[in-house]
Amino acid sequence: MILPKVRDPRFITIRRGGTLTDPDHRLLALWAATCAEHVLDLFESVRPDDPRPYEAIEAARAWTRGELPMMQARAIAGHALGAGRDLTGAPRFAAYAACQAGAVAHVAAHELGAAAYALKAIRSAASEVDRDAAGRRECQWQRDQLPDQIRELVLDDQRLRNEICWSVFDV
């Protein structure tokens, strides 16, 4: 489980009683989609004809543009989860990253799940000798993709939820 038991109001939109603005919610979704897309090839290399993870990433982006309702993005995200369920290792984690990215439209805190599963995918695909270094490189790459407007929010979220995210944000 990558979501905290007590939800952080910074990841709840203002209209639902939190402090998250709609523009920042969209930036979180875009960042999550970027993280998931960066590892998508790890899924596609074993399931080239299964579009569900790609569709979840695109659903997140379409939601940010107002082209897709939240509930539809959420449903498409669930299909990406199904795409990875019978797999193991890097392909599974890549599909799960896509699922988490698509789910950001519904719950903004899924942004960290997309990043964490992408890191697990990279680490899983690397040799045992290079696993830690590969994880550090990917984590730094993800951080380099963060828009300034949400950078501190995400970095603090990584610090606070690192333990429930398999400590993948230790760099």
The pLDDT tens digits along the chain (171 residues) read 688 889 999 999 999 999 999 999 999 999 999 999 999 999 999 999 999 999 999 999 999 999 999 999 999 999 999 999 999 999 999 999 999 999 999 999 999 999 999 999 999 999 999 999 999 999 999 999 999 999 999 999 999 999 999 999 987
- Please name which of 60, 53, 22, 46 lies closest in space to residue 118, comparing C-alpha atoms: 53
Closest residue by Cα to residue 81 from 48, 109, 54, 53 = 53
pLDDT for the residue 1 = 64
pLDDT of residue 2: 82
Q: Are 113 and 168 in contact (CB under 8 A)?
A: no
pTM: 0.97
Phi and psi at residue 13, in whole multiples of 5°?
A: -65, 155
Residue with tokens 């400590």: 167
Residues contacting residue 88 through CB under 8 Å, at least 6 positions apart:
none
